[in-house]
Amino acid sequence: MKKLFVTALAVFTFVAVDAQTDFGLTAGYSSNSVKDGDSGSGFNIGAFVDLGISDSFSVQPELVYTNSSFDGSSYNLFSVNAMAKFNVSEDFSILAGPQFGFASGDIPDALDTAFGDDFSSMNIQLAFGLAYSFSENIFAQARYGFMLNDHVDGGDVKVNTFSVGLGYKF
């Protein structure tokens, strides 16, 4: 088992070093919604690394900050994402993967005050999206994230996220 692990690690390291790697920034519009139909909107900004594994597949780790407002109350999300990117054509890609966020702002603070230890600032989502490249450096993407956990134990407080934006690869 140890030999298999070492071999797999060596192969992955070789592929990652040999792969096409791009760095970039993204920014755009975000809309967050909760189960009762309430929604808030704002912006997102982030940085990513696109690790090309093959011509048709890459892994895209990201750090993203999202700021939304629900009737004047803030909901901020700091996310670490790990998107799998499937290149359907030279310009069109499908994205899927987990998004791990930490919520802060007025709404999470109010939930923490109301529920104490039953509140969690974690926002774990499964996201799906599409990306279109206008050029080698500029692209647009749209993504929807479904929250898998609850902010409150035993409750049903989920915040799903829709985002659309532009990105630039260096």
Say if 1 falls within a structural domain: no
Q: Using DSSP, state whether 17 is helix, strand or coil.
A: helix
Say if 10 falls within a structural domain: no
CATH number at residue 150: 2.40.160.20
Say if 5 falls within a structural domain: no
Q: What is the pLDDT along the chain (170 residues), one digit of tens a residue?
A: 556 555 554 555 555 555 589 999 999 999 998 876 788 899 999 999 999 999 899 999 999 999 999 888 999 999 999 999 999 999 999 999 999 999 999 989 998 999 998 999 999 999 999 999 999 999 999 999 999 998 888 777 788 999 999 999 99
List the domain range (segments joined by +) for residue 99.
Answer: 21-169
Say if 46 falls within a structural domain: yes
Q: Considering its fold, how many domains does the chain have in total?
A: 1
The sign of the CA dihedral 120, 102, 126, 11 is negative
Report whether 27 contacts 38 (CB < 8 A). Answer: no
CA 101 and chain centroid, separation: 8
Say if 14 falls within a structural domain: no
